[in-house]
Amino acid sequence: MGQNITEKIIGSHLLSGEMTSGKEISIRIDQTLTQDATGTMAYLQFEAMGVPRVKTRLSVSYVDHNTLQTGFENADDHLFLQTIAAKYGIYFSKPGNGICHQVHLERFGIPGMTLLGSDSHTPTAGGLGMLAIGAGGLDVAVAMGGGPFYLNMPKVTNVKLTGKLNPWVSAKDVILELLRIMSVKGGVGRIIEYSGEGVKTLSVPERATITNMGAELGATTSIFPSDEITLGFMKAQKREKDWVELCADPDAVYNEVIEINLSDLEPMAAQPHSPDNVAKIREIGPLPVQQVVIGSCTNSSYTDLMRVAGILKGKKIHPSVSLSIAPGSRQVFEMLARNGALADIISAGARILETACGPCIGMGQSPSSGAVTVRTFNRNFEGRSGTADAKVYLASPEAAAATALKGVLTDPRELGEFIEIKTPDEFLIDDSMILPPAEDPSTIEVLRGPNIKPLPVNKKLPETLKGKALLKVGDNITTDHIMPAGAKILPLRSNIPAISQYVFSGIDASFADRAKEAGGGFIIGGHNYGQGSSREHAALAPMYLGIKAVLAKSFARIHRANLVNFGILPLTFVDERDYDSIAAEDVLEINTADLGQESGLTVKNIAKGTEFKVRHDLTPRQVEIIKAGGLLNYTKQATGD
Ligand code: MIC
Ligand code: SF4
């Protein structure tokens, strides 16, 4: 029987288990990436493992999230990251060099290889035919130390693309259409594999926009074939020696197939406050817009910004709109500057930001109260922009630029003649802001400013967990709800005692104090609890506050793995009606002696005098991790340290 691309790559990297969907497997990781907001923890964890040098083929540490330096904290973190990278054999991409996923696509991604990144949009490299997965920092640290990456073998969903995008319809519209079809939960436990005639019509950056936002489907990753188009892109990056061809066998089988005819698509937008709340722009109706932001790892490639420049050329933005643009990488930025496109953008009235995540993670450019903001990003969760009542719409760069000119949400087809932009035959290559590791590690002193606090340690799992249901939340709670980001909180990513004060602060500002006072307790969640980012702080900080278990209807993959890594039990209701029976403040008791049994656990609701069953679906290995109080304790136990 023929194989699909997923099976080919997993098969050639398989270390344990069988490729049967739902079963635990482990794979060898060729490359890792980290970004600064998750990286400091990942490297502290790597350091704690005592491995002298990374064992991957390539590991890169990027600084792109916390680049707004309003105090010493972020700059301290940058220095720590630079020195620890030099010491342990890791390449260091300096702040200003670009967003991790864009730079990795340009300079490092290799078809057929595996990449594990401490950022949920790591699947961007799937646009090159790489199996690229987002994970918590601790999983990435283990991979850097040469350890396997464990996951449940996903189902493979084949998205068959036919036809060709019409003028002014964009790669963003392809993934918005898929989000409309599948929803933010639809990709959970799945890898989305693209095939069909339509693939040939999409450039690598377009494919990367699509695989990037596969994260919003909840998918493990998304992947395109590696073909002539991939070769062309890699040639233009002077990396053709790394190219290999990779496609599914003609008789490959998939768990499910979805067909999208590219010719049928129209410009769309995701409306507040979820990436799957998708509608056609022409049907959303006249919507005055106060802000437009173009950038992020989803849509800030050279071709994206050249088209934006072409739309803006010789025109001025609408007087009531503020337009900000952040190029995805220094390569893109410098090319725009040299060919004059940047001048067209500036002349139209855009505010130019540094090449970084910036507004996407609430680092500046928060909109005004109640504003409508149209962004080319991948997430529009409530409050993520830094303005609690802002309304964020996600759309293509073409739609964003048209909107900036008109002052109302605009279908780019209204712009008239299409602006054709080709992928260049040669990109401008200058890797001088990517520092190679030191040849002699003993010469490097790791610099730790006062913002870098030691890792908190967890205790072994007690036999009885007793505490209050500290908070009850609904479906689709994001990691932005659990552990908010933004300019004020992000600088505390290396300081768990300080950042834990903000856990759930947008939902219930008293949460952290109540949790501390009660000596910990439980969180009650709905479906898809923990969707969104890979930030392990959404597990680590609750752990620090004494949270012992989360009882939810279902979990998002990365967050569930992070909970396990930090010794917090992820439990699901056997009967979802039991969710309704719990009230906030109820005292619950769970006996964990049966953790190893298939039968699940019993939860006593002391307040109500009732009891109900929950499942944990942990593998035997995960049971041991939870019992030890998390993966670090477990690894130390296993190695006898
Ligand atoms: C995000 O887009 O939410 C982030 C910031 O890139 C996160 C990582 C983080 O929280 O540091 C992600 O997507 O994993
Ligand atoms: Fe950065 Fe935004 Fe991409 Fe996350 S989604 S990596 S914050 S640009």
Q: Is the pLDDT of residue 125 over 90?
A: yes
The CA distances from residue 626 to 47, 172, 364, 563, in Å, are: 22, 40, 38, 9
> What topology does CATH give the domain 5-264?
Aconitase; domain 3 (3.30.499)
Say how many Å lie between the CA of residue 296 and the centre of ligand 2: 6
pLDDT tens track for 532-546: 999 999 999 999 999
Mutate to test the pocket of ligand 2, among 65, 211, 300, 375 (most ligand atoms within 8 A of CB): 65
First vs last C-alpha separation in the chain: 46
H helix or E strand, kind and range, residue 637: helix 631-639
pLDDT band at 598 (very low <50, low <70, confident <90, very high): confident
Tell me whether residue 480 is one of the annotated catalytic residues: no
- Nearest residue by C-alpha to atom 5 in ligand 1: 361
DSSP letters spanning 149-185? EEEEPPEEEEEEEES-PPTT--HHHHHHHHHHHH-TT
| Mean pLDDT along residues 230-244 | 98
Q: State the distance from the centre of ligand 2 to the C-alpha of 99, rounded, in angstroms.
A: 8
Q: Tell me the C-alpha to C-alpha distance, in Å, between residue 581 and each of 525, 529, 555, 607.
A: 13, 18, 20, 11
Within 10 angstroms of residue 316's Cβ, the number of other Cβ atoms is 11
- Residue 594: predicted pLDDT: 85
pLDDT of residue 285: 82
DSSP-assigned letter for residue 471: E
Catalytic residue among 296, 385, 533, 554: 533
Look at residue 607 in the predicted model and tell me its pLDDT.
87
Is 268-415 assigned to CATH 3.30.499.10? Answer: yes
d(CA 208, CA 133): 13
Which residue's alpha carbon is at the smallest distance from atom 10 of ligand 1?
A: 535
The active-site residue out of 77, 119, 304, 411 is 119
Rounded to 5 degrees, what are φ and ψ at 511?
-55, -50
Q: Say which of 13, 30, 65, 222 is annotated catalytic.
A: 65
| Phi, psi for residue 263 in degrees, rounded to 5 | -65, -20
- Residue 590's beta-bridge partner residues? 465, 603
Following DSSP, what letter does each residue of 243-262 receive, concatenated? ---B---TT---SEEEEEEG
Task: Give the pLDDT confidence of 571-587 residue by residue, as tens digits.
Answer: 999 999 999 999 999 99
77 counts as catalytic: no
Distances (CA, A) of 622 to 8, 115, 528: 27, 22, 20
Which residues, in sequence order, are CB contacts of 138 under 8 Å at separation 6+? 41, 42, 45, 536, 562, 565, 566, 631, 632
Which sequence spans correspond to the domains of the chain?
5-264, 268-415, 464-639
Q: Comparing C-alpha atoms, which of 213, 33, 218, 30 is closest to residue 131?
A: 30
**Is 218 in a helix, a strand, or coil?**
coil
Ligand 1 pocket test, pick from 36, 41, 65 with the greatest ligand atom count within 8 Å of Cβ, gives 65
Q: pLDDT tier at 636 (50, 70, 90 boundaries)?
A: confident
> Using a 6 Å cutoff on CB, does residue 119 contact ligand 1?
yes
Distance in angstroms (rounded) separating the CA atoms of residues 80 and 410:
45
Give yes or no for residue 281 CB within 6 A of ligand 1.
Answer: no
Q: Which ligand is nearest to the CA of 360?
A: 2
Residue 412 CA to ligand 2 centre (angstroms): 25
Closest CA to 556 of 481, 636, 468: 481
pLDDT tens readout for residues 481-531:
999 999 999 999 999 999 999 999 999 999 999 999 999 999 999 999 999
Longest dimension (CA), the chain: 72
**Distance from residue 356's CA to the centre of ligand 1 (Å):** 13
**Any catalytic annotation for residue 379?**
yes
Count Cβ atoms below 10 Å from residue 317 Cβ, excluding itself: 20
User: Is-same-fold flag (5-264; 268-415)?
Assistant: yes
Contacts of residue 353, Cβ cutoff 8 Å, sequence gap at least 6: 295, 324, 325, 326, 359, 364, 365
* Cα–ligand 1 centroid distance for 35 (angstroms): 9
pLDDT of residue 637: 80
With a CB cutoff of 8 Å and minimum separation 6, the contacts of 428 are 331, 334, 335, 338
pTM summary value: 0.97
Taking the C-alpha atoms of residue 52 and residue 442, their distance in angstroms, rounded to an integer, is 10
At the fourth CATH level, the homologous superfamily of domain 464-639 is: Aconitase, domain 4 (3.20.19.10)
User: What is residue 303's three-state secondary structure?
Assistant: helix
Residue 59 confidence (pLDDT) above 60: yes
**Residue 28 catalytic?**
no
| Integer Cα distance of 409 and 193 in angstroms | 32
- Reported as a pLDDT band with limits 50, 70 and 90, residue 639 is low
Tell me, what's the pLDDT at 334? 98
pLDDT at 597: 82
Q: What distance in Å separates the CA atoms of residue 463 and residue 310, rounded to the nearest whole number? A: 64
**Given a cut of 70, is residue 431 above it in pLDDT?**
yes
Q: Which residues of 575-606 are buried (b: 16+ CB within 10 A; e: fewer)?
A: eeebbeebeeebbbebebeebeeeebbebbbe
Mutate to test the pocket of ligand 1, among 533, 540, 557 (most ligand atoms within 8 A of CB): 533
| Atom number, ligand 1, closest to the C-alpha of residue 384 | 3
